[in-house]
Every structure is written in structure tokens, then in C-alpha cells.
Amino acid sequence: MGPGLGPERHFGFTDPLAEQFGPPADPDGPLSRARSVRITRDYVAAFLGLQLKGRHPPLLGGPTPTNPEVVFQQP
């Protein structure tokens, strides 16, 4: 498996849509909306760089000090 945010509650990149069509996002979640979006964008960009350009970004190699919220799970 790959990276993912830990089991704690967090904001996701789909929260703005969810707020339009459902209950508001959890304001008590430990990750701010901006931080959650930043992490998601960084990892999606790293994944696409790997798949489309053959680049092997360190971000996908395992935990990083800059993203302590991200948990890597081994298959």
C-alpha cells in the first residue's frame, strides 16, 4: 500500500464539495483544511511524476520529517 493520513479526523480535498451537499467539515479535526490540501497536492503531484515522468520522488519512499501526519502501510 501507499501513503495515507493517519486514522485521526482530518479535512480532505473534497470537503468544499461536501460542505455544499452535506454537513460541514469537522472544525475539531487536527489538520487544517490548508494543511490537508497541501499534503494531498504534494502526494498527488509526486505520484503523477512517478507514473507519467518516471521520476522517483523521495516523498513516496517513506515517512518524511516534513509530513509527519502521513503514515505508510506495508502490504
User: Which among 28, 64, 19 has a CA at the least distance from the CA of 46?
Assistant: 64
Mean pLDDT of the chain: 75
Q: What is the pLDDT of residue 1?
A: 46
Q: How far apart are CA 38 and CA 42, in angstroms?
A: 6
User: Which among 47, 74, 73, 75 has a CA at the least distance from the CA of 59?
Assistant: 47
Give the model's confidence band at 15: pLDDT under 50 very low, under 70 low, under 90 confident, else very high.
Answer: low
**Residues 44-65 pLDDT 10s:** 999 999 999 998 989 998 889 9
> pTM for the complete prediction?
0.62
Q: How many CA atoms lie within 13 A of 22 on its CB side?
A: 7
Q: How many CA atoms lie within 13 A of 41 on its CB side?
A: 6
Whole-number CA gyration radius for the chain? 14
